């Protein structure tokens, strides 16, 4: 979470060119893949996270948080929350 509006705008425009750390980039690449099609995630994605310094617990936390946000957004979307 950040209050840096410029960073938020850069991430929304194209996260691949946003000014984030290499470690943050690995996280975002993984989270985007989980969001678009989690069945495409592979051992190489996990190894990428490990290479960025995350242990099994950190990888699990990243995965759970991304998955929970995907889940709750789909629930809200299906119920029309925020469309009124």
Range of the domain at 64: 22-79
Asked if residue 7 belongs to a domain, the reply is: no
Asked if residue 13 belongs to a domain, the reply is: no
Q: How many domains does the chain have?
A: 1
What is the distance between the alpha carbons of residues 67 and 4, in angstroms, rounded to a whole number?
Answer: 25
Supply the pLDDT for residue 3: 82
Supply the pLDDT for residue 1: 66
Asked if residue 66 belongs to a domain, the reply is: yes
Asked if residue 6 belongs to a domain, the reply is: no
pLDDT tens digit at each of 84 positions of the chain:
668 899 999 999 999 999 999 999 999 999 999 999 999 999 999 999 999 999 999 999 999 999 999 999 999 999 999 877
Alpha carbon separation from 18 to 36, 55, 63, 69 (Å, rounded): 20, 25, 22, 21
């Amino acid at each position: 979470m950040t209050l840096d509006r410029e960073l938020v705008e850069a991430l929304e425009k194209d996260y691949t060119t946003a000014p984030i750390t290499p470690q943050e980039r690995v996280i975002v690449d993984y989270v985007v893949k989980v969001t678009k099609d989690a069945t495409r995630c592979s051992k190489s994605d996990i190894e990428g996270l490990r290479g960025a310094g995350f242990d099994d617990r950190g990888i699990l936390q990243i995965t759970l948080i991304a998955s929970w946000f995907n889940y709750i957004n789909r629930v809200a979307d299906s119920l029309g929350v925020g469309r009124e």
